[in-house]
Chain A
Amino acid sequence: MARQPDGPPPPPTVQKLRIRYAKRGRLRFASHRDLARALERALRRARVPMAFSAGFSPHPKISYLGAAPTGAASEAEYVEIGLSVRCDPEAVRAALDAALPEDVAVLDCVEAQEGTGSLADRIDTSVWRVELPGLDPDELTRAVEAFLAADVVTVAKRTKNGLKDIDARPSVTSASASAGVGCAILHMVVRQGTPAVRPDDVLAALAAVADLRPPLPPRAVREAQGRLDDTGTVADPLEPDRTAGAPDQEAHATV
């Protein structure tokens, strides 16, 4: 017979919270795994009553949604956690925010509402802002125009299995250029899919169509994530829970 862990099974998940957080400043260099570790430890320090998986190696119930790449900052990263005791979402947000490093900010926390569907289904698009220090904005404008005018822009993408050619064009639903302080700024709305098209891939595409060569490394920020509607707007993925959950009459334990 298979060996069983000693003791009773862990308490069940009684509440799911959906969280939006930002990674900024120096922590843009944190990888998804780095942030996951930091988040798990912060949850322990903040004494959030996490639900755990069963088995010999219990893990806290945390689901991560597609993370921004290492080196990119983000104002809109999402994670869902399962609790074993009901808590006030705002209290969890504040406690977690205090327990995380300064450059990680917990911006929003809502209770997942029954019947509203999964969080992953509400996210299919990213809004990016990419600062290109030392680059002439007009040069960027011309490159963006050339890119948008093309039907196919093939770039080599580094994957687990070596370099692979992908078409960067169809995922980019809109793009524009503006001028910043000492830099040009690329704004774009990019559909998430497989293979994923990331800011670096779009920059490689701009190099391919218009020989755009920024003199310094880019600084990318993911400004929003959500579902792209017909008007070209990206919807707040936490909105359905917020709408379904209000007014909230249930009593909450405090963290």
Chain B
Amino acid sequence: MTADLRTTTGESLYPRLEPLLAQIQKPIQYVGGELNAQVKHWDAARVHWALMYPDAYEVGLPNQGLMILYEVLNERSDALAERTYAVWPDLAALMREHGVPQFTVDGHRAVADFDLLGVSFATELGYTNLLEALDLAGVPLHAVDRDESHPVVVAGGHAAFNPEPVADFVDCAVLGDGEQAVGDITDVVGAWKEQGRPGGREELLARLARVDGVYVPRFYAMTYAADGAIAAVTQTRDDVPEKVGKRTVMDLDEWPYPKQPLVPLAESVHERMSVEIFRGCTRGCRFCQAGMITRPVRERTITGIGSMVDQGLKATGYEEVGLLSLSSADHSEIGQLAKELADRYEGTNTGLSLPSTRVDAFNVTLANELSRNGRRSGLTFAPEGGSERIRRVINKTVSKEDLVRTVTTAYANGWTQVKLYFMCGLPTETDEDVLEIADLAVEVIRAGREASGRKDIRCTVSIGGFVPKPHTPFQWAGQASAETIDHRLRVLRAKINEDRKIGRSIGLRYHDGKPGVIEGLLSRGDRRVGRVIERVWREGGRFDGWSEHFSYDRWVAAATEELAPFGVDLDWYTTRERTEHEILPWDHLDSGLDKEWLWEDWQAAISEDEVADCRWTPCYDCGVCPTNGTEIQIGPTGRSLLPLTVV
């Protein structure tokens, strides 16, 4: 830990940080002052939140979740929220040398001064960065070593649906949507402070454990059976719930955040603003954790979206707006929305875009409409599986003919770059399933050249290794080994290169299978995995999402040594297929999905049986709506975008 020279709580560390900034790479990421950032008076707020995205600033700044909570909290008069990001090793070394602790970029206040440290985990590969930040902050790594002077460390984001691997390091985890949960937590912490912190940290955490959607790991004990599996999860207090449910924001129009999106000076991974057009997805893709844990579908209305786009553009000066969701073309009024937005911004050099979409000819029409005004970049489709058979297994059915026809339509409409996303290592997959990706790409180029009359069209095939995730039908699946993934990618590359005349128009982008194995360990791990994470961090592991920092060998060595005393190993967590009644580390965390339904859907996957979307067909009893008292919220509303007042 670093020597701490501060005297006043909430004091700015900037004067001590500034000389260090002159000696490092990209100092702009640490100075704050982004457009729409805010620094509130420390003493005016009762509850202070430091919000962390545990990756580099350029990745973390555009994160919508963090931006939403930052604004929601700062709108409260009794709360203050500032942001902090993972510090690169060059600055971290100088901070340790000069005794400068982990700081927020807004007020440059010490993270240790805050009441809460909220950490948003979009991916498990941020876990070592949490440990680094805690250590730089001077906050004890283990939750049990903290007292009431330390911040309460709260995990959120999709990875928080199985926080067990970081259970020793966080004080609590929030399941589901954060907008309302952070308000409830603020109320609890504020009241406890005002009452003079009765009962110390234990009492505060007990109160938090009674907040809907908040899980406090220390109040749940794990025991393990001889075969290594969990024997039981038991509550250590009788006033905490047996199962912790998730939070669901039902009316997105009531939460039009971010209203004032942050605009960095530094370059970030998304040089655009985003508007979330709906939340949740019931397409039922079996690999997709996001689609499973964010149910049901809740649409923002067309008018709500229109005003967020308008206000956001005025507040930021961005020239591109992404219409964000898990499957944006599924919005019930997407056609009208695309047309009316394109009409509205005609001639203003404003671009509109959709993230990767399902393979559907309608999506080409949509993309044509959206690109009317701005730059026509590439189009991305996500067939995910190489063969029709494997696409039935993952429940993302599209025929080969439809796929080729859709992509050909895109080329015929003047799009010259098409990107196709696939996964490798899916359950039941064979080499043949993956090799079909090559056939598809070749046929797409052949048909595309013919339809467009151009030779310079390109198709980029982007492949990710599949990692089974908690709360999905594939949570029982054995993960493909790194060797399997690497082998399949090798044969695929060879096949694409067989015909150079076509192959030169096809790009292949992929990573080797190793990082996926570690992601798999962290995704489906239990509390015993925490020792592996800590060991890796102690040996220098940081920024595991970055190939230049990730060390597979370090992870494997740490896993081997730390897990051996428990009689389990890396394979046990990754390539091993689970049995139906094994207690999974996240069974006491309730996404609303019925475990029996998940198992049935897993069996259906193996039998290559499909499930239809419950928005347009009868309910198939996944369990989410009755468990949480929620329902599907979709249009059409029948409304149109109001014309903008001329400025």
Contact = CB atoms under 8 A, between A and B. Distances in A.
B378 interface: no
Contacts of A27: 28, 31, 33, 265
Given A30-B265, A34-B267, A101 B317 contact: no
Given A33-B267, A41-B318, A217 B349 contact: no
A99 B35 CA distance: 9
B32 interface: yes
A42 interface: yes
A31 B58 CA distance: 15
A37 B314 CA distance: 16
Contacts of B315: 45
B583 interface: no
A29 B19 CA distance: 11
A217 B266 contact: no
A41 B647 contact: no
A52 B349 contact: yes
A71 B22 contact: yes
A71 B27 contact: yes
Nearest to A200: B22
A29 B27 contact: yes
B152 to A, nearest CB: 30
A3 B267 contact: no
B376 interface: yes
Interface string B253-297: 000000000010111000100000000000000000000000000
B229 interface: no
B252 interface: no
A204 to B, nearest CB: 14
A43 B349 CA distance: 13
Interface in A29-63: 29-31, 33-35, 37-38, 40-45, 47, 52, 56-58
A35 B317 CA distance: 14
A3 B265 contact: no
Contacts of A71: 21-22, 27
Interface in A4-36: 6, 26-27, 29-31, 33-35
B319 A44 contact: yes
B375 interface: yes
A179 B414 CA distance: 65
A217 B16 CA distance: 12
A225 B9 CA distance: 43
Contacts of A218: 22
Interface string A73-109: 0000000000000000000000000010111000000
Contact of A102 (B23, B33, B372): B33
B31 A26 contact: yes
Most buried by B among A29, A34, A37: A29
B316 A45 contact: yes
Contacts of A40: 317
Given A29-B27, A71-B27, A34 B414 contact: no
Contacts of B319: 44
A152 interface: no
A10 B44 CA distance: 51
A217 B263 contact: no
Given A29-B28, A45-B314, A70-B27, A217 B33 contact: no
B19 A26 contact: no
B353 to A, nearest CB: 14
Nearest to A55: B375
Contacts of A31: 26, 28
A45 B317 contact: yes
Contacts of B314: 45
Please classify the interface of chain B as helix (H, G, I), strand (E, B), loop, or mixed, using the class held by over half of its residues: loop
A217 B23 contact: yes
Nearest to B647: A47
B19 A216 contact: yes
A41 B265 CA distance: 10
A3 B375 CA distance: 14
Contacts of A41: 35, 263, 316-318
**Most chain B beta carbons < 10 A, residue from A35, A37, A219:** A37
A35 B86 CA distance: 23
A58 B372 CA distance: 13
Contacts of A219: 22
Interface residues of A, number: 34
B462 to A, nearest CB: 23
A197 to B, nearest CB: 19
Interface residues of B, number: 30
Contacts of B349: 52, 58
B33 A103 contact: yes
Contacts of A44: 317-319
Most buried by A among B314, B317, B318, B414: B317
Contacts of B263: 41
Contacts of A56: 375-376
Contacts of A52: 349
Contacts of B317: 40-45, 99
A131 to B, nearest CB: 12
Contacts of B266: 30, 34
Contacts of A217: 19, 22-23
A24 B376 CA distance: 37
B414 A3 contact: yes
A218 B28 CA distance: 17
A34 B23 CA distance: 18
Nearest to B20: A217
B38 to A, nearest CB: 13
Contacts of B267: 33-34, 37
B158 to A, nearest CB: 30
A228 B109 CA distance: 45
Interface string B511-534: 000000000000000000000000
Interface in B4-51: 14, 19, 21-23, 26-28, 30-33, 35
Contacts of B26: 31
B448 to A, nearest CB: 15
A34 B265 CA distance: 5
Nearest to B314: A45
A32 B319 CA distance: 20
Interface string B603-647: 000000000000000000000000000000000000000000001
Contact of B265 (A38, A45, A133, A216): A38
B646 to A, nearest CB: 12
Nearest to A6: B372
A43 B21 CA distance: 29
B105 to A, nearest CB: 10
B85 to A, nearest CB: 15
Interface string A180-200: 000000000000000000000
Given A26-B33, A42-B317, A44-B319, A37 B22 contact: no
Contacts of A35: 265
Given A33-B267, A34-B28, A34-B265, A101 B33 contact: yes
Given A26-B31, A45-B317, A70-B27, A101 B647 contact: no
Contacts of A30: 28, 265-266
A231 to B, nearest CB: 34
A27 B30 CA distance: 11
Contacts of B31: 26-27, 29
B131 to A, nearest CB: 27
24 contacts: A26-B33, A27-B31, A30-B28, A30-B266, A34-B28, A34-B265, A34-B267, A35-B265, A37-B267, A41-B316, A41-B318, A42-B317, A45-B315, A45-B316, A56-B376, A58-B375, A71-B27, A101-B33, A101-B35, A102-B33, A133-B19, A217-B19, A217-B23, A218-B22
Q: Which 9 A-B pairs have the closest CB atoms?
A: A41-B317, A217-B22, A29-B27, A45-B317, A44-B317, A26-B31, A34-B265, A29-B28, A217-B19
Interface of B: 14, 19, 21-23, 26-28, 30-33, 35, 263, 265-267, 271, 314-319, 349, 372, 375-376, 414, 647
Given A41-B317, A47-B647, 10 more contacts: A27-B33, A29-B27, A31-B26, A37-B271, A41-B263, A44-B317, A44-B319, A56-B375, A58-B349, A101-B265
